[in-house]
Amino acid sequence: MQKDQVLPELALLRETFQHGITRELKWRRSQLLALDTFLVEREKDIADAVHEDFRKSAAETFLTETGYLRGEIRFALKHLKSWMKPHQVSVPLIYQPAKGYYSREPYGVVLIIGAWNYPLNLCLAPLISALAAGNCAVIKPSEHAPHTSSIIAEGLGHYLDRRAVCVIEGGVEVAKSLLEARFDYIFYTGSYTIGREVMSAAARHLTPITLELGGKCPCIVDMNSDIRVAARRIVWAKFLNAGQTCLAPDYVLVHEKREAELLSSMREAITAFYGDDPRLSPDYPRIVNEQHFKRLETLLVGSSVWRGGETDFDERYVAPTILRGVTPTSAVMQSEIFGPLLPVIAYKELEEVFDIIRSAKEPLAIYLFSSDRDVQERVVHLSRSGGVCINDLLFHAALYTLPFGGIGSSGFGAYHGKAGFETFSFKRSVMKRALYPDPALRYPPYSIRKFGILKHLFSLFPL
């Protein structure tokens, strides 16, 4: 059975795209503005929904979801017209008279599958790029953030053009059945394991794809760094969203001479941010579900806790926790932690840091605290990751002017700002030639003399 029949919405979206409705600048702008209105008018409902899902505070939801998305919309609105302009290219003399250009064309109907940890952002940021590029979109939010999923479905149905955007809610089975249909582009955010399944499903239709995956992001704290600032920033980035952030520092590698100072500064920062008992802090979220809670508890059992370690099953609470005595072979170092446990490993020489990082899969980001330019250069040039942030964390992903994406096992492709527009469009080349002159030289039969002249011409007018 044709999947388009199973999914009548997809047939409607295809028709809309084929009629060229979504290609117009005016339509694209109207949809971006409507999305902005949704974020403004429903800000409180959105914050309540995210809070229901894992007790994230309204301030954190504003910073990482609605506020971020509104900035992305403003940036797209400001630059859209210039992004859409065709690029003229030069044409060698031998092909004259002619003109050549390429334009950025929308793919068509795209599928966006989001993850639960930034449940609004991970669906709507790609949607902003998809709409800016002139596509129709089907969005499948994560079933693990059901309240946010339902406000996305209700809100987009109300504010956006239903002929072009539709939200399909559901879990694994729904995602799998969507993947059986043919889309023109797939944008997936989630785990490495599922990412591979999505990629093989995309291969069945030769559908181009972006995979935004995770990994273990290391944070290096060098001899020459301001430990107090480093500690505050690391604690903020790690325990934001209770560690359930793809870009969170997964573990810290600190120079042995600064380890004690870093540990005590991080302890101070945890107390300053979340109080003596973080369980009571309105700013400290919970673990999204029982399965992830149990996974984190298992990791805790085999680790040596330096600070924190308390858990509460009923609330799915895991305290901000710092682990010591961890080695690269410890259980906690074998996969992405994706929760509020922060292993700290001391090193003597920078080479040890490279060994640890290189022995693992490519992370989404590498963080470095160091005022030493030489160390900064070495870390940037001798490692691989989707991004690097020096003397801070996460903020490289907040810049609309920088592409955001992974490499190797942290995924491929990128979005945010212009990179998102480019991801959701392809370069279509157009050449316009004059009908005359039409010399016989290009056509067979190619006599020895003709061939000689052709060769001579090519050497006179190099391409």
Give 198-233 as a DSSP string: HHHHHHHTT--EEEE----EEEEE-SSS-HHHHHHH
Q: How many CB atoms lie within 10 A of CB 314?
A: 5
Catalytic residue among 212, 259, 336, 362: 212
d(CA 262, CA 155) in angstroms, rounded, equals: 45
Minimum CB–partner distance for residue 357 and ligand NAD (Å):
17
Query: Which of 42, 140 has the CB closer to ligand NAD?
Result: 140
Minimum CB–partner distance for residue 353 and ligand NAD (Å):
22
Among 49, 122, 131, 342, binds ligand NAD (CB under 6 A): 122
Asked if 60 touches ligand NAD (CB under 6 A), the answer is no
Asked if 114 touches ligand NAD (CB under 6 A), the answer is yes
Among 214, 340, 403, 413, binds ligand NAD (CB under 6 A): 214
Minimal CA–CA distance to 138: which of 165, 115, 106?
A: 165
d(CA 123, CA 134) in angstroms, rounded, equals: 17
- First CA to last CA distance, the chain: 50
d(CA 30, CA 24) in angstroms, rounded, equals: 10
Residues 6+ positions from 367 with CB-CB distance below 8 Å = 217, 218, 219, 220, 234, 237, 249, 388, 389, 390, 392, 393
d(CA 354, CA 351) in angstroms, rounded, equals: 5
Residues 356-375 that bind ligand NAD (CB under 6 A): 364
Among 338, 347, 367, 424, binds ligand NAD (CB under 6 A): 338
Size of the site for ligand NAD (CB under 6 A): 30
Query: Which of 106, 339 has the CB closer to ligand NAD?
Result: 339
At 140, give phi and psi (nearest 5°): -120, 95
Asked if 241 touches ligand NAD (CB under 6 A), the answer is no
Minimum CB–partner distance for residue 108 and ligand NAD (Å):
20
Minimal CA–CA distance to 342: which of 359, 360, 322, 357?
A: 322
212 is catalytic: yes
Residues 269-328 that bind ligand NAD (CB under 6 A): none
Minimum CB–partner distance for residue 65 and ligand NAD (Å):
12
DSSP helix/strand/coil, 397:
helix
Query: Which of 203, 453 has the CB closer to ligand NAD?
Result: 203
- Residue 316: CA count within 13 A, CB half-sphere: 18
Stretch that binds ligand NAD, among 80-88, 110-118, 306-314, 455-463 (CB under 6 A): 110-118
Minimal CA–CA distance to 189: which of 262, 126, 278?
A: 126
Asked if 171 touches ligand NAD (CB under 6 A), the answer is yes
Minimum CB–partner distance for residue 394 and ligand NAD (Å):
11
- Residue 442: CA count within 13 A, CB half-sphere: 5
Residues 141-170 that bind ligand NAD (CB under 6 A): 142-144
Query: Which of 102, 236 has the CB closer to ligand NAD?
Result: 236
Q: Are 130 and 23 in contact (CB under 8 A)?
A: no
Asked if 110 touches ligand NAD (CB under 6 A), the answer is no
43 is catalytic: no
Asked if 385 touches ligand NAD (CB under 6 A), the answer is no
Asked if 237 touches ligand NAD (CB under 6 A), the answer is no
Minimal CA–CA distance to 190: which of 360, 349, 410?
A: 410
Query: Which of 138, 231 has the CB closer to ligand NAD?
Result: 138
Q: Which two tokens stand for residue 93?
A: 């003399």
Q: How many CB atoms lie within 10 A of CB 89?
A: 12
Stretch that binds ligand NAD, among 97-105, 161-169, 187-195, 451-459 (CB under 6 A): 187-195
Minimum CB–partner distance for residue 20 and ligand NAD (Å):
30
Among 16, 31, 61, 117, binds ligand NAD (CB under 6 A): 117
Cα dihedral angle (271, 233, 75, 161), rounded to 10 degrees?
-50
Catalytic residue among 123, 217, 219, 246: 246
Among 45, 52, 154, 197, binds ligand NAD (CB under 6 A): 197
Asked if 72 touches ligand NAD (CB under 6 A), the answer is no
Residue type, 133: A
Minimum CB–partner distance for residue 4 and ligand NAD (Å):
19
Query: Which of 214, 308 has the CB closer to ligand NAD?
Result: 214
Minimum CB–partner distance for residue 49 and ligand NAD (Å):
15
At 23, give phi and psi (nearest 5°): -80, -25
Just list the catalytic residues: 212, 246
Site for ligand NAD, rule CB under 6 A: 113-117, 122, 140, 142-144, 171-172, 175-176, 179, 189-191, 194, 197-198, 212-214, 246, 336, 338, 364, 406, 411
